[in-house]
Amino acid sequence: MLLYPVYALLFADAGLSVGQISSLFVLWSLTGVLLEVPSGAWADAVSRRLPLWTGPLLGAAGFALWVLFPSYGAFAAGFVLWGARGALGSGALEALVYEELDGAGAADRYAAVMGRAHAVGQVAVMAATGLAGPVFAAGGYPAVGAASVLACLLCAATAACFPEHRTRPPAGSDTVGGEGPGGEGPGGGEGGDQRTAADGDEPDEGWTRRLRTGLCGPAGLAGLRRDRPLLGALLLVPAVTAVWGALDEYTPLLVRETGAADTAVPYLLMVIWAGVTAGSLLAGAAERLGRTGLAAVLACAALALAAGALTGAQAGIVLVGLAFGGFQTATVLADVRLQQRIEGTARATLTSIAGLGTELVTVAVYGAYGVLGARFAHGTVFALCALPYLLTALAVGLRRKGTGALPRGRGRGRSSALPQGGGRGD
């Protein structure tokens, strides 16, 4: 969306303080907190594709509000709609892609596929960022807003065309990390019920029952107490995703602080997104890094973030881009580990629970940024936000050897798992 590189500037130009801008980001995340798990349960119970195309329609409405009625109330309403859009897609997309690959016997390609998908999205962001400069110069915020609404509508149309073939396991086959009743993975092996959503059957569980299963059943949150590797994989997602995801919203302000003109901000943000795109493309190969290599990536990215932000110069944005690239690689690998660990029918729900953890940490980061941003320069706050990644890198590197191996041969159509020590959540 063309609004991405300039919407923080839109808020500032509308008279909002850093604290007010941070409060909008908190509202955005709180919306995700409230809707994350229910939307995942809905996707498990009804359709993974349905929320993927309805969500962008909500985003389009939110962006229209921003440019038509630029005020705190309109910004808040837009963030609620955008938060709902994010919650609808979170969990549903990962579950849909993983299970479609698993059904084709290609679950081992999940990291590469998702990495490339993220890269395509990030190239689109870079293209939109590059276009934002001249479009903003020609038509201001209304022009970039209209282009963003159009992009959301195209996104909805694309998602509506996704394939979906969902296998219904027999009742009682839900598990967290083990096989189904027949010993052949979810669904109890070849004798299981192979009807799919494409056959026109009713969903195997209602939304409320699916939500209870995801939260209280053996295939959901309650079962995490018995599956420590799955719990570790789930907790790693917010540990590597939340902080840099929150900082991303403040990058236009960081760039402006270097002395760049508003029309130049989108082009400098393209440098950051080039790093993120490279991180996505490297995710498939990075599966082989192992625990020590993963810790090194997180530590180097944290140091690059701090160094780049503290320079106060436009050249430092290159280091920030390298840091974001490392964090993006870690984000994809954390998702890979989680998807490999999940068994049973609550995949979207459990993925949404990981997303819920990310949103909760993100809210804390927004709150901290609002307080720190009122006292320190943006570069200083960015540097301070690198500290949690050094702690995460230390925790990953010090994990007891042998706890990070993924199971092999589990689940239908799963040709391989990640190499030992090559995943996330160790």
DSSP string for 41-103: HHHHHT-SHHHHHHHHHHHHHHHHHHHHS-SHHHHHHHHHHHHHHHHHHTTHHHHHHHHHHHH
Helix or strand holding residue 264 (H, E): none
Per-residue CA distances from 95 to 54, 195, 315 (Å): 17, 18, 39
| CA–CA separation, 412 and 343 (whole Å) | 10
Looking at residue 344, its pLDDT comes to 67
Looking at residue 56, its pLDDT comes to 93
Q: Packing angle between helix 316-341 and helix 290-311, nearest 10 degrees?
A: 150
DSSP letter for each residue of 369-425: HHHHHTTS-HHHHHHHTTHHHHHHHHHHHHSPTTS-PPPSS-STT----PPTT-SS-
Looking at residue 149, its pLDDT comes to 94
135: which residues sit within 8 A by CB, 6+ positions away? 2, 143, 144, 147
pLDDT under 50 in the chain at which residues? 169-204, 401-426
Per-residue CA distances from 107 to 282, 412, 426 (Å): 18, 9, 20
Looking at residue 309, its pLDDT comes to 95
Which pTM value belongs to this model?
A: 0.64
Looking at residue 425, its pLDDT comes to 33
> Rounded to the nearest 5°, which phi and psi values hold at 404?
-100, 5
DSSP class of residue 169 equals P
Angle at CA of residue 235, ends 231 and 237, nearest 5°: 125
| CA–CA separation, 425 and 284 (whole Å) | 16
| CA–CA separation, 392 and 304 (whole Å) | 15
| CA–CA separation, 250 and 397 (whole Å) | 29
Looking at residue 334, its pLDDT comes to 84
**How many residues are given for the chain?**
426
Looking at residue 352, its pLDDT comes to 78
